[in-house]
């Protein structure tokens, strides 16, 4: 093998090591939206790879179990990819320094990267590369071990609020149900605090999920819940509240809308999903007027204070939803949350069920209407 070929191999190996080190550093040490290209690529590849299998599964529960492996598997593949890239990069460098065969150089590199010590170079330059590679492999493995607790802490913090929302938004979560239940149970004064909580939640998810994109594919333990579904439900609730009762809607609703929209758009940027950053409030949306009227009628039926008629409320609500609907739909295709009202319809996944709460009492064991509901 001529010397110039080995020299090219050394240059390629050095570039591979440096790029891999940069990927490890920006992903695990200083995560940023633009840093985890390899992680994003691995996650999206795995999500697309399981798509043909998903189409052959009959139930959503089975699809959810399969999709639940994408996020964790992406992390394992990423960890191995880093080590393999370092092994190949240092192997090409050793190949030039040692003058031996390519397979022998890769063997020495593998021994060093995993700190086995069963093979080592003979020359001074070769031994120096062995020491550098062994230190690099040890550092990467240590960072990976330290990375997992951070990852799962972010996942746990995200899922706590998603789980708590089930009692307020129904299962599956639905924006109009948030307002309906708070009015039915006479705790409307708790809505400002709920909006503020989800404003902070959206900010935390923006920071963690853009830095660690594999979290986007980490699914809730319960197949009926999803972080994306919960966020869209809260955005719909805030937009609906602002559209129906503009004079009494809490200011926290608009803040929740703004931060939630920023969260979805930041995730779209991290995954390179195109979207209109400044849509017109009268631009068309996917949600139909008939679907909106189902939510409007629910609130009207329980006596929710409404200041606008159906048509005007629809116009105002569509003006809010146009800011986040397209991004939510694109993420829905990637993440596959459970079917829910007002979410992107996916007949291959299942039909959406409306959340239902029944007022069961000893006097009405089969359930009855709630105090304050029309017809009670």
pLDDT score, position 375: 36
Buried b (16+ CB within 10 A) or exposed e, 175-203: bbbbbbbbbbbeebeebbebbbbbbebbe
Cα separation values, 180 from 245, 343, 370, Å: 14, 18, 11
C-alpha 136/C-alpha 118 separation (Å) is: 17
Query: What is the pLDDT of the chain when averaged over all its residues?
Result: 86
The DSSP secondary-structure symbol of 189 reads G
Name the pTM for this structure: 0.83
pLDDT-derived band of residue 226, with 50, 70 and 90 as boundaries?
very high
pLDDT digits (tens, 9 = 90+) for 99-146: 778 888 888 888 888 876 665 656 667 677 778 878 887 788 888 888
pLDDT-derived band of residue 362, with 50, 70 and 90 as boundaries?
confident
Q: Quote helix, strand, coil % in the chain, to nearest 5.
A: 65, 0, 30
Q: Are 125 and 95 in contact (CB under 8 A)?
A: no
C-alpha 169/C-alpha 147 separation (Å) is: 33
pLDDT score, position 275: 95
pLDDT score, position 118: 61
Asked whether residue 5 carries a pLDDT value surpassing 80, the answer given is yes
pLDDT-derived band of residue 373, with 50, 70 and 90 as boundaries?
very low
pLDDT-derived band of residue 33, with 50, 70 and 90 as boundaries?
low
pLDDT score, position 120: 61
C-alpha 295/C-alpha 175 separation (Å) is: 8
pLDDT score, position 241: 97
What percent of the chain clears pLDDT 90, i.e. is strictly above it?
45
Q: Which residues is 368 bridged to in the sheet?
A: 359
């Amino acid at each position: 093998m001529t010397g110039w070929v080995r020299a090219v191999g050394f240059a390629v190996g050095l570039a591979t090591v440096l790029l891999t080190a940069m990927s490890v550093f920006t992903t695990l040490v200083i995560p940023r939206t633009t840093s985890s290209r390899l992680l994003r690529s691995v996650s999206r590849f795995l999500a697309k790879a399981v798509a043909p299998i998903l189409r052959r599964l009959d139930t959503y529960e089975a699809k959810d179990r399969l999709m639940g492996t994408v996020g964790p598997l992406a992390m394992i593949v990423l960890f191995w990819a880093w080590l393999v890239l370092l092994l190949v990069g240092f192997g090409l460098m050793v190949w030039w320094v040692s003058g031996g065969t390519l397979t022998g150089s890769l063997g020495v590199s593998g021994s060093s990267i995993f700190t086995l010590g069963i093979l080592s170079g003979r020359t001074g330059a070769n031994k120096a590369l062995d020491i550098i590679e062994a230190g690099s492999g040890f550092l990467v493995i240590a960072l990976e071990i330290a990375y997992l607790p951070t990852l799962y802490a972010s996942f746990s913090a995200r899922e706590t609020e998603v789980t708590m929302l089930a009692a307020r938004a129904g299962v599956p979560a639905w924006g109009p149900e948030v307002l309906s239940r708070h009015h039915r149970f006479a705790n409307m004064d708790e809505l400002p605090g709920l909006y503020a909580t989800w404003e902070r939640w959206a900010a935390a998810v923006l920071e963690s999920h853009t830095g660690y994109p594999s979290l986007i594919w980490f699914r809730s333990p319960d197949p009926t819940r999803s972080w994306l579904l919960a966020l869209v439900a809260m955005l719909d609730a805030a937009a609906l509240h602002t559209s129906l009762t503009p004079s009494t809607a809490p200011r926290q609703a608009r803040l929740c809308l703004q931060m939630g929209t920023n969260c979805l758009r930041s995730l779209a940027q991290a995954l390179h999903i195109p979207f209109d950053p400044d849509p017109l409030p009268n631009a068309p949306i996917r949600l139909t007027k008939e679907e909106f009227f189902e939510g409007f009628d629910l609130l009207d039926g329980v006596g929710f204070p409404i200041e606008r008629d159906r048509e005007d409320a629809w116009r105002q609500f569509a003006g809010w939803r146009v800011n986040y609907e397209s991004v939510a739909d694109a993420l829905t295709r990637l993440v596959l949350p459970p079917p829910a009202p007002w979410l992107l319809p996916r007949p291959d996944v299942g039909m959406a069920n409306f959340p239902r709460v029944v007022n069961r009492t000893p006097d009405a064991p089969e359930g009855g209407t709630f105090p304050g509901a029309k017809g009670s």
